[in-house]
Amino acid sequence: MNLNYAHLLPENFAPSSRVWIYQSSRPFTMGEALELEEMLEQFIGEWNTHGTPVKGYGNLFFAQFVVLMADETAAGVSGCSTDSSVRVIKAIEEKFKVSMFDRQSLAFVVKDKIQLLPLSQLKYAIENNFINYDTLYFNNLAATKEELTSKWIVPAKESWLAARLPKTTV
């Protein structure tokens, strides 16, 4: 699985640009991905904050993650503009019958594929060698372009999960 994605990010956005990562409960099909990308394009073209256009970006990564980005060096993102981004994600949920807001679902790269694991099954997965400290984890808490570039796909031991992993797996 090719995990290189940095080249897809806009070069002209500040490293401090705000990022929102939404993980789908399943991969999108090719047809769905094309429709979804049209929805994102339309949203980005209309995204504004108090009448000022937001310098925004949206894309689908690995057929399963919607990433929205706003470069706030020109105009800050207001609560209303953040709400509008949530509305487009909810529209994606409805249109494609997926869940995009399940923060209890963890994404890992296992056997060269993205595998979702409920947080409640993390201990079981570790005990049965499904994942370990070095398993790549999608840290959807990345909040800036810089973090998206350097801290999105990391070994589990380098994420917030490290504190939840049994000490015997170190």
Return the structure tokens found at 90. 């909810």
* Burial of residue 116 (number of CB atoms within 10 Å: 0-12, 13-18, 19+): middle
3-state helix vs strand vs coil in the chain, percent to 5: 40, 25, 35
Residue carrying structure tokens 């999105």: 152
Residue 69 backbone phi and psi in degrees, to 5: -140, 140
Q: Return the pLDDT at 75.
A: 72
Q: Return the pLDDT at 142.
A: 96
Judge whether 43 and 53 are in contact, CB under 8 Å.
Answer: no
Q: Return the pLDDT at 170.
A: 47
Return the structure tokens found at 49. 């904050």
Query: Which CATH number, 1.25.40, 3.40.630, 3.30.300, 3.90.550, labels domain 14-96?
Result: 3.30.300
Q: Residue ranges per domain, the chain?
A: 14-96, 105-139+151-169
Kindly compute the dihedral angle of the four CA atoms of residues 147, 149, 154, 157, in this order, to the nearest 10 degrees. -30
Q: Return the pLDDT at 83.
A: 82
Amino acid at 137: Y
Q: Return the pLDDT at 147.
A: 98
Q: Return the pLDDT at 37.
A: 96
Residue 20 backbone phi and psi in degrees, to 5: -125, 125
| Tens of each residue's pLDDT in the chain, 170 residues | 899 999 999 999 999 999 999 999 999 999 999 999 999 999 999 988 888 888 999 999 999 999 999 998 877 776 777 788 999 999 999 999 999 999 999 999 999 999 999 999 998 998 898 999 899 999 999 999 999 999 999 999 999 988 877 775 44
